[in-house]
Amino acid sequence: MKAAHRRKDLQTLAKETLCLEAEALQQIAQRLDSTFEKAVKLIAALKGKLIVSGMGKSGIVAQKIAATLASTGTPAVFMHPSEAAHGDLGMIQKGDGALFLSKSGATEELNIIVPIFKRMRVPIVAMVGNMRSNLAMHADVVLDIGVSREADPFDLAPTASTTAMLAMGDALAVCLMQLKDFSPERFAEFHPSGALGKRLTMRVSEIMARDERLPLVKENASLKEVIVEMTAKRFGAAIVVNQANKLVGIFTDGDLRRLMLSNAHLDGLTAKDIMSKNPKFTTPETMAKDCLEEMERYRITQLPVCDKFGKAIGLVHLHDLVSLGL
């Protein structure tokens, strides 16, 4: 009869798992040599894309590696090895390369397509845990991701080995970024919806209120007309312009409250009488992040936008910038 497996405190087991996986990464880091540099340079020199493939859990890691590479300047796609032999090999073009992942190095589906890649003269980089495996012997460059044991109690489930694969893929991506002088600006271009993408690419022209949404009044508008415009457009402010539509002032909710508390005679007042003159403004070409920094610096909630002729063409509200995650 098999002995019952000793149950451990969950926190203890979790810490042991993390430590085992950390040790696995230390092991592959210590074994890293010039072969890794050879792999990086091979991939960097490709004229086409990198085809990344693996089965099972290795396949899931391969998808992540392909996605990371593609988003950091190295064209890469995932190819399922089972589907490869049923038509997906058609994606291979001259100048492509391959990155195959397999803990055992004996994954049948990969070994079936390796001769085809060799025949098509597609260079192969392999990540394997067995340096004497068939895949290791036929690859052009082999990266050793072997681990002493998996992190699960029975040394069965792919845990430490897949962590090693994932980390090695990240190391490839980071080194390729440096080799290709990949910049934050290029990263932002590939991630336009992300926070970094917005910070590095979004301009005031993309977020400002304009046209019929713009709270705009002439300098001879009455106080009532100013309040109606502010209320209708719901920005808590009205931009004041002259007859040529050039910015001359701004009137905000705060200005209105102060005016009401001043006990001043309100009859006959015009926008010109009550506005804050020569307000700060920005331009449509200004980066949104720079606009936000200026508004925070001067504690401004609304900022007019003017073209190169000084004409008011838009309004930026602090809340809109904050809601974008800038």
H or E segment and range at residue 247:
strand 247-252
Q: DSSP letter at 89?
A: G
* pLDDT reported for residue 14: 94
Confidence of residue 182 (pLDDT cuts 50, 70, 90): confident
Which residues does 33 contact at the CB level (< 8 Å), separation at least 6? none
Mean pLDDT, residues 258-274: 87
Q: How much is the pTM?
A: 0.65
Helix ranges, the chain (H)? 10-31, 34-44, 56-71, 81-84, 108-119, 134-138, 160-179, 184-190, 195-201, 223-233, 253-261, 271-274, 288-297, 318-323
271: CB partners within 8 A, 6+ apart = 217, 218, 219, 220, 221, 222, 223, 225, 226, 238, 240, 249, 251
Residue 195 has pLDDT above 80, yes or no: no
Q: Looking at 6-20, 92-106, 121-135, 192-206, which range is the least confident one?
A: 192-206
What type of residue is 282? T
The confidence score (pLDDT) of residue 320 equals 83
Model confidence band, residue 326 (pLDDT cutoffs 50, 70, 90): low
Higher pLDDT among residues 74 and 325, named by residue: 74
Nearest alpha-carbon partner for 303 in 246, 247, 225: 247
State the CATH class of domain 10-182.
alpha beta
Q: Is the pLDDT of residue 104 over 90?
A: yes
Number of other residues whose CB lies within 10 A of the CB of residue 219: 15
- Kindly report, residue by residue over 14-32, the tens digit of the pLDDT: 999 999 999 999 999 999 9
Domain 204-323 sits in CATH at: 3.10.580.10
pLDDT of residue 87: 83
Which helix (H) or strand (E) covers residue 125, if one does?
A: strand 124-128
- Terminal CA-CA length for the chain: 62
Q: Looking at the chain, how many residues does it have?
A: 326
**What number is the average pLDDT over the span 242-268?**
90
What pLDDT shows up at residue 3?
46
pLDDT surpasses 90 at 43: yes
* pLDDT reported for residue 185: 64
Residue 190 has pLDDT above 80, yes or no: no
Which one-letter DSSP state was computed for residue 90? Answer: G
Q: Is the pLDDT of residue 199 over 80?
A: no
Neighbouring CB atoms inside 10 A of 267's CB total 7
241 or 182: which leads in pLDDT: 241
User: 């340079």: which residue's tokens?
Assistant: 41
Give the C-alpha distances (Å, rounded to integers) separating 154 from 15, 25, 151, 165. 16, 20, 8, 20
Q: What's the pLDDT band for 153 if we cut at 50, 70, 90?
A: confident
Write down the mean pLDDT value for the chain. 91
Domain boundaries, the chain: 10-182, 204-323
Is 117's pLDDT higher than 80? yes
Please say if the pLDDT value at position 6 is more than 90. no
Structure tokens that stand for 3 in this block: 């002995």
Compute the chain's Rg from CA coordinates. 31
Please give the average per-residue pLDDT across 260-279, as a whole number: 88
Q: Give the model confidence (pLDDT) of 289-321 as tens digits.
A: 899 999 999 999 999 999 999 999 999 999 888
Tens digit of each residue's pLDDT (9 = 90 or more) over 47-57: 999 999 999 99
Nearest one of 167, 317, 291 to 236, comparing CA atoms: 317
